[in-house]
Amino acid sequence: MNSWTAVATIPLDGRIQDIADLSQYDALVIPGGRGAIAYRYDGSYAALSPQDAPGTHVTTAAEVQSAAEKLNDLINEALATGKPVLGQCHAAPLVAFARRDGTTGSGHDGLGISVLAGQHATGYHLGDGTTAADYATLGITYLVNEKVVLDGPKAPHYSGNGRDMLLTSRDWFVETVAYATKTLDNMLTSYPSPAERTAAVSVLVFGGDEPAHYLPQEPARYTDLVALLNDPTDGLNIAAVGTNNPSRHDPCQPAKLRCSALFPPRHHFGSGARGD
């Protein structure tokens, strides 16, 4: 047995129910393990005991329910404030079973519409699980062959702050855990904040001569980039204009044109499979 598989005891100093809100946190991570399944926000809750020592400690059904409800609230808060959520392996469905605020009374069970309804996710994939059936019921496309999937509710939900904020990973293998963790780290260090995403940004796209070297394939034009930057559905407040240069003189003379940056240098969007 090595350090990757060694069993460790992790001391606990509180309950998820004791977390008032996410104001002191930058992200929410929900580790997997079969015990995580019990905390899905699905209206069905039972008392729990440790799998390897039944009866030594009992978490009552009421405590399980209150924890599931708190997780649902925290996931919704994370989406509203633009903070990422990671659900790993068996815990990926916990993210999927969270319901969008304001949709109580809807959905297959009346608890609301999944925060990932109409989107994509991965999760525990072996035959003894119910991930595929659960996602189908919730209206989620299950990308079973993806190790990590990044998606989330699009605008107008959560004012667009939840887009690409829900991270699900498929299994417990070391490389998958590392991949998901690195993706979360990239999100934390590179994603623009909600305030940065809504701030007005002006972009000048300089077209150059754009010779077509690979005909009959047409190259992307500067106008394509302008249209992409001005996409009204991406949640960004960008005003892009373009200018072409039909001649072959030095593009920096005489106008000395300079293109403004979309975001400061630290903003490079994180890795991970996207659903859209």
Confidence band for 269, pLDDT divided at 50, 70 and 90: very low
Q: Evaluate the CA torsion angle 189, 194, 196, 202 in order and state its sign.
A: positive
> Which pTM value belongs to this model?
0.74
The residue behind tokens 């989107």 is: 119
- Residue among 19, 87, 7, 92 at smallest CA distance from 50: 7
Does 71 fall in a domain? yes
Asked if pLDDT for residue 80 goes beyond 80, the answer is yes
Cα(186)–Cα(261) distance, rounded to whole angstroms?
20
The residue behind tokens 């068996």 is: 90
Tokens at 92, concatenated: 């990926």
Q: What is the CATH number of the domain that holds 78?
A: 3.40.50.880
Asked if pLDDT for residue 192 goes beyond 50, the answer is yes
What is the three-class DSSP state of 95? helix
Does 264 fall in a domain? no
Does 167 fall in a domain? yes
Cα(184)–Cα(45) distance, rounded to whole angstroms?
30
Q: Which of residues 30 and 213 earns the better pLDDT score?
A: 30
Structural domain total, the chain: 1
Does 211 fall in a domain? no
Does 234 fall in a domain? no
**Per-residue confidence (pLDDT) for residue 251, from 0 to 100:** 44
Cα(170)–Cα(32) distance, rounded to whole angstroms?
10
Asked if pLDDT for residue 275 goes beyond 80, the answer is no
Cα(194)–Cα(196) distance, rounded to whole angstroms?
5
Does 50 fall in a domain? yes
Cα(261)–Cα(130) distance, rounded to whole angstroms?
46
CB 176 within 8 Å of CB 164: no
Average pLDDT in the 37-62 region?
Answer: 87
Does 80 fall in a domain? yes
* Domain containing residue 57: 16-192
Does 8 fall in a domain? no
